[in-house]
Amino acid sequence: MLKARSSLEAHLYMDLHPCECGGDGDFERRHHLEQVGEDIVAVYEGKCRACGRDRRFAFVMAEEIPPPPPAYGGTEPSEIIDPGEFAEVASRYGNWGSLGALNSPASEHHKFRGALVSALAALEEVLKFIPEGQDAVPASALTSERGKARYQKDPDKFSRESLEFRVEATHRALAAIDSSPTPPAGAGAGEG
């Protein structure tokens, strides 16, 4: 059974595993908990929005209390999402947030903060796959086809140096957003 460190990690796993019909994986997720032996199992069920096929995911929840979002889990690396998948998520959120901020006035940069925070959380997950005393994510850590393809495309992006650089750059971007002026509450309302 799949082992999730948090509900956020479980949701990301479901997002990364679309329906076999080729839809985007979105389904209205009904959630309940079950006791299975000593384990608490989070069950998510619903119908694929594209084809109507039943979808069901069951996750044994880690005993450790999860850190608050946007973190996906504690200090240990994920057992269900590989570093290549986290790198893809970081890239997707990072590109969206960075491009959005670059193409908008400073007063609107706050709208992209959430995307950059999510990118940062995913980058921090990739770093957890680097073994103590090593300088890069080992190829053996990649277990998904998506992750392996991303790693093979550019293995240098999985070096500690590269990942730490991107983490620091994201922190700087967040600091810039936090120091940007935000429009006063209600500004823009009623304009037209």
Whether the pLDDT of residue 55 is over 90: the answer is yes
In a domain, 186, yes or no: no
Residues 6+ apart with CB under 8 A from 106: 180, 181
In a domain, 104, yes or no: yes
In a domain, 92, yes or no: yes
168 with 104, same domain: the answer is yes
In a domain, 68, yes or no: no
**pTM for the predicted model, two decimal places:** 0.90
Cα distance between residue 91 and residue 19, in whole Å: 23
Containing structural domain, residue 166: 83-179
**Quick one: how far is CA 38 from the chain centroid?**
28
45 with 88, same domain: the answer is no
Give mean pLDDT, residues 123-138. Answer: 98
Q: What is the CATH number of the domain that holds 18?
A: 2.20.25
User: Looking at the 3D structure of the chain, how many domains does it have?
Assistant: 2
168 with 108, same domain: the answer is yes
Whether the pLDDT of residue 192 is over 50: the answer is no
pLDDT tens digits along 151-184: 999 999 999 999 999 999 999 999 988 987 665 5
Cα distance between residue 116 and residue 95, in whole Å: 9
Residues 6+ apart with CB under 8 A from 38: none
34 with 91, same domain: the answer is no
166 with 107, same domain: the answer is yes
**Quick one: how far is CA 149 from the chain centroid?**
18
